[in-house]
A and B are shown apart, each in its own frame.
Chain A
């Protein structure tokens, strides 16, 4: 039982490049989330998916797209990376009321 897994662990991009961050959970959870973490800002919600086939914007969705591929997988895409998107990205999933389980994170550096 791996919980929530994320790939890659670390990525360096040039401005304007695109990439997809992958997330998978093996807990059969309905809801999945993408957050970004920046120093002194806590975690901010980018997008979430309440169930397979649905996605909704969070607090900071601009510059990102998501896909809920199936119940297990929820990907985050940066179409044209910008230096402001340098951050640590966390995926999370939940089933029971509110308790979210987090992956180990992806560190992204945009030059």
Chain B
């Protein structure tokens, strides 16, 4: 079984400051890892994903995440926060469920607020 733990349900940063959202996972098989972003009253949008290969993954809007197998972590970072980054962020791990179908297990989310 897979699980995801997001450390901190709410993170607050100043505009221009570093954004760091933490995610740890457990998986019995090599994981696929994802970060999704949800803006108010909208669905989830893929930010970035790790499947295989390079462990530093770059996504949209200047975000990136690094897969660290030894630490079972996939933390999301952005060097300089912008007001438009205010949203809820979800980390997810995939579990193979047969054929070409994979199920996602989500963390409980981290709400990011950006202060002017």
The interface of chain A, by Cβ under 8 A from chain B, is 4, 30-31, 33, 40-45, 48, 50-51, 56, 58, 90, 92, 94-95, 97-105
Interchain CA distance A51-B51 in the complex, whole Å: 22
Name, among A41, A90, A99, the residue most crowded by chain B CB atoms within 10 Å (CB to CB). A99
Across chains A and B, the number of contacting residue pairs, with CB separation under 8 Å, is 69
- Check if B44 sits within 8 Å of A42, measured CB to CB: no
Interchain CA distance A103-B36 in the complex, whole Å: 13
Nearest 4 interchain pairs by C-beta: A50-B101, A102-B43, A98-B94, A42-B108
Shortest A13–chain B CB gap in Å is 20
Interchain CA distance A63-B49 in the complex, whole Å: 33
B97 within 8 A of partner (CB):
yes
Name the one of B101, B103, B106 contacting A42, with C-beta atoms under 8 angstroms: B106
The interface of chain B, by Cβ under 8 A from chain A, is 9, 32, 34, 36, 41-46, 49, 51, 90, 94, 97-104, 106-109
Interchain CA distance A43-B45 in the complex, whole Å: 13
Shortest A56–chain B CB gap in Å is 8
- Check if B49 sits within 8 Å of A99, measured CB to CB: yes
Name the one of B44, B45, B100, B106 contacting A97, with C-beta atoms under 8 angstroms: B100
Shortest B42–chain A CB gap in Å is 6
- Check if A40 sits within 8 Å of B107, measured CB to CB: no
Name the one of B49, B90, B107 contacting A98, with C-beta atoms under 8 angstroms: B49
Interchain CA distance A35-B90 in the complex, whole Å: 14
List chain A residues, Cβ under 8 A from B34: 98-99
- Check if B99 sits within 8 Å of A97, measured CB to CB: no
- Check if A42 sits within 8 Å of B90, measured CB to CB: yes
Interchain CA distance A99-B34 in the complex, whole Å: 8
Tell whether A94 pairs with B108 under 8 Å between CB atoms, given A40-B9, A102-B45, A104-B43. no
